[in-house]
Amino acid sequence: NAGVMQNPRHLVRRRGQEARLRCSPMKGHSHVYWYRQLPEEGLKFMVYLQKENIIDESGMPKERFSAEFPKEGPSILRIQQVVRGDSAAYFCASSPLIRDRADEQFFGPGTRLTVL
Amino acid sequence: DAKTTQPPSMDCAEGRAANLPCNHSTISGNEYVYWYRQIHSQGPQYIIHGLKNNETNEMASLIITEDRKSSTLILPHATLRDTAVYYCIVRVVNTDKLIFGTGTRLQVFP
């Protein structure tokens, strides 16, 4: 049973370009979360999605950032017109989220974005 | 903001028990205590969670005080591979997002 998969593992972009980060949840998981980790800091929640729905985007910057989790295919975190401050590790997590149970989130290996 | 307070760093000798404390004095009745760790720059790894009873699994034990205002994660026989940043998180069931603080950097030495 493969774990959470993220690609690419490393991504280099120049200022002003677009970055697309992909996340495939564990088999049977329909809930995806994105977190960002700036250098030497802890992880910060960005967005929580279920299939075709954004449930909580309270941690997403208001501009340039968007996320989706289509019915088919991986979840995508998209950053438009990247700036140097977007350089970070972006982690995706998934869970089955069975109601009335405290479910753990399983994390992927992360995508390290470097903006030149 | 994180609702937990942890010491920034701790050391532990290999083979000894590592006891990592966490304060969560404002925890609510429906909030669980979760522990994750992050080894180097890998994705966080789930360790254990509990509500009010002590919990044990193959990785660790979690001791929660009776008033639930603090807890301790115990790694019974620390190895060099346990060197990591350990995060204590309080989380309401089914609110989903994890709020990470700064964690405790545990260094296990030979």
A34 touches chain B (CB under 8 A): no
Mean pLDDT of successive 10-residue segments in chain B (110 residues)?
Answer: 88 97 90 92 92 93 95 96 95 75 94
Q: How far is B11 from chain A (nearest CA, A)?
A: 19
pLDDT band with cut points at 50, 70 and 90 for residue A28: confident
**By CB neighbour count within 10 A (0-12 exposed, 13-18 middle, 19+ buried), where does A84 fall?**
exposed
Q: What is the pLDDT of residues A59-111, one digit of tens each?
A: 999 899 999 999 889 999 999 999 999 999 999 999 886 655 557 889 999 99
Spatial CA neighbour of A50 closest among A2, A108, A96, A104: A96
Give the phi and the psi of residue A70 in degrees, each rounded to 5.
-70, 170
Q: Which positions in chain A touch B2 (Cβ < 8 Å)?
A: 42
* Closest alpha carbon within chain A to B86: A42
pLDDT at B95: 62
Q: Which positions in chain A touch B64 (Cβ < 8 Å)?
A: none
Residue percentage of chain A with pLDDT more than 90: 74
pLDDT band with cut points at 50, 70 and 90 for residue A2: confident
What is the DSSP code string of A68-111? E--SSS-EEEEE-S--GGG-EEEEEEEE---TTS-PPPEE---E
Q: Residue A61 contacts by C-beta under 8 Å, 6 or more apart in sequence?
A: none
- Inspect the interface and report whether the beta carbons of A33 and B44 lie closer than 8 Å: no
pLDDT at B91: 82
By three-state DSSP, how is residue B40 classified? coil
